[in-house]
Structure 1
Amino acid sequence: MAEPTVIPQRGKTTEPATIVLAGATGDLGFRIAQALLKRGAAVRALVRAGNTKPEVTLLRDLGADIIEVDFNSVTALTNACAGAACVVSALSGLRDVIVDGQKRLLDAAVAAGVPRFIPSDYSIDYTKLSNGSNRNLDLRREFNQRLDQAPIQATSILNGMFTDLLTGQAPVVLFGVKRVLYYGDADQPLDFTTTANAAEFTAAAALDPTTPRYLRVAGEVATVRGLQAAATAATGQPFKLLRVGPLGVLGAMIKVTKALMPSTDEVFPPWQGMQYLHNMFTGLPKLTPLDNARYPDIRWTPVREVLAAKK
C-alpha cells in the first residue's frame, strides 16, 4: 500500500488528505474511490439520499465516509466539501448533470475554499474538436469554459477510449467473425486506457497539488493494425481487418441513425458511440504529449490483456 498523502493542518499534526468524490457509486467513480483509499486518502463519497446501490455499503466497509447530500443544493454541497483538498467528479449524464450539476458542485467547492477541482472528462481530447462533432464532449467543453473562469485550480484528465469497451460496447473488435472493423486509415494512432488505469491515475492526480490544467494518458496507443495483432495474440486465432469505408461513410451513418432517433435521454445512444469512433478515426483528438510517467507506480494495462480476458 502506498504511503498516505498528507496535507498540513494549522495547529495540528499532518493528516491524510480529504478528497470529496461525486459519482462514487458508478463504475469509474467506485474504482477512483478504491484507488484513493489504497493511496491513504480520506474519501468523502457524496451520494443521493436513499441510494441503495451495493457500492454504498462496499465503500463504507472499505473506509470511505458516505455523505448523503442534495445535489441540487449548493449550500448542502458546500457543507459536504468543507476541509477537502480536492473535489473529484465522476458524474455521468447529460446537460442537467455535466453542465448544471457540476456547476453546483464547482460553486460549492469554491465557496468551501477547496483548492482543486477535477471534472468528469475522462475522454479523448475534446479541446481539439469543433462544436457539434460530439454531443457529450460538447457538454464537457461547455462546463470547462465555466471551470476556467472559477477561482480554483482545475485539472482535466483525458484518457482516450476506455479499453474495456473493445470487448463489448464499441463495435471495433468483432470476436464472433474474427474481424477488426474500422473506417478511414488503418494506421491512425488511437488512445486506449482501461477504466482501472484511469481511476488509478485520477486518484494519484487528486492527491497531487502540482497538477497542470490538463493531464493526458493512454494505457496503449494502438492503430487498427495494432488492434488486429492484439486480438490475434489474445485469442490465438487470426483476426482480419474489415474496412467499411472512408470516414464520410461513418458520418452519413451517424446522420441517419440520429434522424431515426433524434430525441433521447440516453447518455450513450448508438449514434453517440459512432460519433466517438468518428472523432478518434479522424486523429484530431489524439492525446499528446502523454503524462503516463508522472506517477511511476502505475502499471499500464495493454489492449492485449483486456482482449484476452474476453476469451
Structure 2
Amino acid sequence: MTDSATSSNPTIVLAGATGDLGLRIARHLVQRGAAVRALVRPSNTSPAVASPRELGVEVVEVDFNSVAALQQACTGAACVVSALSGLREVIVDAQKRLLDAAVAAGVPRFIPSDYCIDYTKLPAGSNRNLDLRREFSQRLDQTPIQATSVLNGMFTDLLTGQAPVILFSPKRVVYWGSADQPLDFTTIENTAEFTAAAALDPTTPRYLRVAGEVATVRGLQAAASAATRQPFRLLWAGSVGVLGAMSKIAKALTPKNDDVFPPWQGMQYLHNMFTGKPKLAPLDNARYPEIRWTSVQEVLATRPAA
C-alpha cells in the first residue's frame, strides 16, 4: 500500500464494497480516477468479493475488530467511505473502530454509511435504523476528522416492488396522510455516483442532501401510469398516525431477530417520510453537474411486465 492521498490519483478506502451500493460506489470511484482500496473480512468467502477485483480495486482482507489492523489498511487514504449495512454491531461498533482507525492513520475525511432521509430532523425513537446512524454521527462529530453524510431520501429502486407504495397488480398507489406531501427519491446508482464524487471532493460540508426526484403521491401515480401505460388510482390507507401505530404493533408482534429491514422497519421509514419531517432541504443536486438524475418514471419503466 502506498501513500497516494496527495497524488493525482487519490486513494479512497471503501468498506462495504461487496454490497450493491458499495460496489457501485467502487465503480464510480474507479471511473473518476481514484485508487480504491476495498476492505473485506478474512472470513468473507462470498463470490461477491471477486466483483471489486474485476473493477481493478485493491481488495485488502482486514480484521474489522482490530483498530490497529484497520489503521494500517487506511494509511495513505484521502477519504474513508463506509457503505456497511447492519445493526448496532455494524453501524455503531464496527464503524467506530473504522473511524478510530482513520483518525489514527491521519485520514482527512470520512463518509459514514447514512444514505437515507434526514434523520437529523427526526425525534429519537422514531426509527431504529436511523437512531443507530444518529448515535454514530454524534461520535463522528467528536473527532477531528472532516465528516460528510450523504442523505438521499428513499432509494427509488424500492418502488418497483419492495416498498408497499406502488401496487402493480391492482394498479393502486397507497398512501397515508396527504397525497400532496413531497417525498424524496434517489436511485442506488445516482447515490453511488454522487458519493464517489463527494469522496474525491475535499471541500464537502457536513451534510449533502440529494433527491433524484421530489415527488408527491400524485406524482407517483402519474409516473406509474405513464411507465406502464395503464391508469393507476390512489388508495388512502389512513392517517400518518395510523401508519405509526401499525408499525409499533408490527414491531411488538415480530420475534426478536437480526433482520436489518424487517417489515416494521420499512413501515417506520414510510411513516417518517409521510410526516414530512425528514424532507431534504436544501438540495445539493447541482454540486456535481455531470450527474444525470434518474426519475421515478424511468425506474418504474424498467420493471418487467407482470
Q: What TM-score does the superposition give when structure 1 sets the normalisation length?
A: 0.95
- 1:64 is the counterpart of 2:57: yes
- Figure out how many residues of one structure are paired with residues of the other and give that number: 302
Name 1:4's counterpart in structure 2.
none
1:241 to 230, 234, 242: 234
Structure 2, unpaired ranges of 5+:
none
- Matched residues in 1 for 2:5 and 2:219: separation? 47
Name 1:3's counterpart in structure 2.
none
1:45 to 34, 38, 47: 38
Equivalent residue of 1:234, what SS? helix
Name 1:187's counterpart in structure 2.
180
- 1:171 is the counterpart of 2:164: yes
Equivalent residue of 2:194, what SS? helix
The root-mean-square deviation of aligned C-alpha atoms, in Å, is: 1.2
Name 1:114's counterpart in structure 2.
107
Equivalent residue of 1:149, what SS? coil
Q: Is the CA contact (8 Å cut-off) linking 1:191 and 1:222 kept in structure 2?
A: yes
- Matched residues in 1 for 2:93 and 2:107: separation? 19
Deviations 1:259-288 (A, max 9, x none): 111522110011000000000000000000
Name 2:144's counterpart in structure 1.
151
Name 2:261's counterpart in structure 1.
268
- Matched residues in 2 for 1:122 and 1:200: separation? 12
Equivalent residue of 1:92, what SS? coil
Shift of 1:57: 1.5
Shift of 1:248: 1.6
The one-letter code sitting in structure 2 at the alignment partner of 1:274 is M
Name 1:94's counterpart in structure 2.
87
Inter-CA distance 55–290: structure 2 relative to 1 (3 Å threshold): same
- Matched residues in 2 for 1:61 and 1:285: separation? 38
The one-letter code sitting in structure 2 at the alignment partner of 1:250 is L
Shift of 1:56: 1.8
2:19 to 15, 18, 26: 26
- Matched residues in 2 for 1:254 and 1:232: separation? 29
Deviations 1:40-75 (A, max 9, x none): 100000001142333321211211000000000000
Name 2:218's counterpart in structure 1.
225
Deviates more, 1:59-68 or 1:19-28: 59-68
Name 1:199's counterpart in structure 2.
192
Structure 1, unpaired ranges of 5+:
1-6
Q: Is the CA contact (8 Å cut-off) linking 1:20 and 1:45 kept in structure 2?
A: yes
Name 1:294's counterpart in structure 2.
287
Deviations 1:184-237 (A, max 9, x none): 000000000000000000000000000000000000000000000000000000
Q: What TM-score does the superposition give when structure 2 sets the normalisation length?
A: 0.97
The one-letter code sitting in structure 2 at the alignment partner of 1:280 is M
Equivalent residue of 1:45, what SS? strand
- Matched residues in 1 for 2:43 and 2:169: separation? 42
Deviates more, 1:53-62 or 1:14-23: 53-62
Equivalent residue of 1:63, what SS? coil
- Matched residues in 2 for 1:181 and 1:61: separation? 41
Equivalent residue of 2:12, what SS? strand
Equivalent residue of 2:293, what SS? coil
Shift of 1:169: 1.2
- Matched residues in 2 for 1:15 and 1:187: separation? 47
Equivalent residue of 1:296, what SS? coil
Inter-CA distance 182–8: structure 2 relative to 1 (3 Å threshold): closer
Shift of 1:8: 7.0
Name 1:35's counterpart in structure 2.
28
Inter-CA distance 229–67: structure 2 relative to 1 (3 Å threshold): same
Q: Is the CA contact (8 Å cut-off) linking 1:30 and 1:55 kept in structure 2?
A: no
